[in-house]
Amino acid sequence: MGYTGLPMAVAAARRGSRVVGVDSSAARVAEIVAGDPGCGRTTVAEVELAALLSGSLCVRTGDIPQAPVYVLCVASRDLAVAVDSISHLLRPGDLVIVQSTCPPGMIDGVVVPRIPAFADGEVHVVHSPVRVNPGPDQTSPVLRTVAGLTPEARAKGIQFLRQLGEEVIPVSSVRVSELTKVFENTFRLVNISLVNELAELCGAAGVDVGEVLAAAKTKPYGFLAHTPGPGAGGDCVPVCAEFFAATARRHGAPARTVEAAIEVNDAAPRAIRRRIDVRGRRVVVAGVAYKPEVADVRRSAAVRLIEEIRTETEVSYHDPYVPRLRLSDGTELRSTPPAPGVVDLVLLVTRHRGMNVAGFAAPVIDCSRGISSTMEVSDV
């Protein structure tokens, strides 16, 4: 019941279907049921969510009930477990929609062998990964690819998704659907890494990277603007690039550009760290989510920066969306409230709207635009 599962549950319940949303996290379920602020994870309206929970929508942990449609909204690493949890429930004619972003070959290699009834074509398996941009600025629905393991499965998947108001683009096979999602996010990572290298080059050459990008954007064709940053995070863009590279290696195909982009992205927090003298200074990293206005810290550049800094000096963090943060060694930190005298330096990494860094009354270094912005500023 996260960024992709909860919107699907709400969409189906909104149209009158009885929906059971099952999540393995009791804490997540309790958050939704209680209507805690932020429980909609910015992808559903919390007022509507509360209304549906009193009617056609049930959210819970535990056993999965039998149903004609199962929508699997888990990370690809958890997909095998999710399929195993429903395989004994499946009946002829049931529809299984996998929303996970999958490395090419995962539906055929992981999902199908776990569905005994599929051998007779009785269970309809569909892959339709969502395209969602978590945050408060949700726009109109975005097209999503749909592929089935049989033509009938694809037709049933299209019918179901369109009933929920989804706009779909049918493709010929699940391999096409898998690789489409992997490629479009790999494309983003490659361009993010490229613009970060441009920022580093501009810094070394004494050129304003913002001016270069503004001038480049005037070209009406063949250019897609990207902005320098501290490194791409989240559980989609960098993961997809790794899927792309791993699939290429498995098939003996070159992926040198993608592998280089992954290396550049992984090194971005270290590149920022090298530009800043933190010795003997109490440091607070402001904004640890992987992007503004969300609470997701998966693969966050800010968290990686904290891990780098804490080997040299005292470091804390401040983020209104992330009250607690667990580091890779198990250390748990709590968000430090702004107050004068508690830190000597603020590193602004993720720019949440209205986040109070001036309250620390300490110098601020803006790292939110990557290596090009690592300079002390007073107005943030």
pLDDT at 380: 45
How many whole angstroms separate alpha carbon 50 and alpha carbon 358?
A: 36
Q: What is the pLDDT of residue 373?
A: 54
pTM: 0.91
pLDDT value for 378: 45
Given this structure, which CATH class describes domain 4-173?
alpha beta
Give residue limits of the domains in the chain.
Answer: 4-173, 178-270, 273-366
Sheet with 95-98, side-by-side order of all strands? 69-72, 95-98, 124-127, 144-148, 168-170
> Which pLDDT value is given to residue 142?
84
pLDDT computed for residue 140 by the predictor: 61
* Separation of alpha carbons 199 and 370, rounded Å: 8
- Are both 178-270 and 273-366 of the same fold? no
What is residue 346's predicted lDDT score, i.e. its pLDDT?
96
Q: What is the pLDDT of residue 365?
A: 94
Alpha-carbon span 146 to 126, nearest angstrom: 7
Q: Which residues contact 286 (CB under 8 A, 6 or more apart)?
A: 317, 318, 319, 346, 347, 348, 349, 350, 355, 357, 364
pLDDT at residue number 369 = 86
DSSP notation for 44-94: S-HHHHHHHHTTTEEEESSPPPP-SEEEE-S-GGGHHHHHHHHHTT--TT-
- In CATH terms, the fold of domain 273-366 is Rossmann fold (3.40.50)
Q: Which CATH architecture has domain 178-270?
A: Orthogonal Bundle (1.10)
Contacts of 143 (CB under 8 A, 6+ apart): 131, 167, 168, 169
Kindly report each contact of residues 21-26 with a partner whose C-beta sits within 8 Å and lies 24 or more positions away, as own/partner.
Answer: 21/57, 21/58, 21/59, 21/60, 22/59, 22/60, 22/61, 22/62, 22/63, 22/64, 23/59, 23/60, 23/61, 24/61, 25/61, 26/61
Cβ atoms 294, 357 nearer than 8 A = no
Residue-level pLDDT, tens digit, the chain, 380 residues:
888 899 999 999 999 999 999 999 999 999 999 998 888 877 888 899 999 999 999 999 999 999 999 999 999 999 999 999 999 999 999 999 999 999 999 999 999 999 876 555 689 999 999 887 776 655 566 899 999 999 999 999 999 999 999 999 999 999 999 999 999 999 999 999 999 999 999 989 999 999 999 999 999 999 999 999 999 999 999 999 999 999 999 999 999 999 999 999 999 999 888 889 999 999 999 999 999 999 999 999 999 999 999 999 999 999 999 999 999 999 999 999 999 999 999 999 999 999 999 999 999 999 998 765 555 544 44
How far from 117 is each of 27, 121, 212, CA to CA, in Å?
34, 7, 58
Q: Which two tokens stand for residue 347?
A: 């590193």
Question: What pLDDT is recorded for position 38?
Answer: 82
For 250-262, give one letter per residue: b (16+ CB within 10 A) or e.
eeeeebeebbebb
Q: What is the pLDDT at residue 102?
A: 95
**DSSP string across 300-317:** -HHHHHHHHHTTTS-EEE
Phi, psi (5° rounding) for residue 269?
Answer: -60, -35
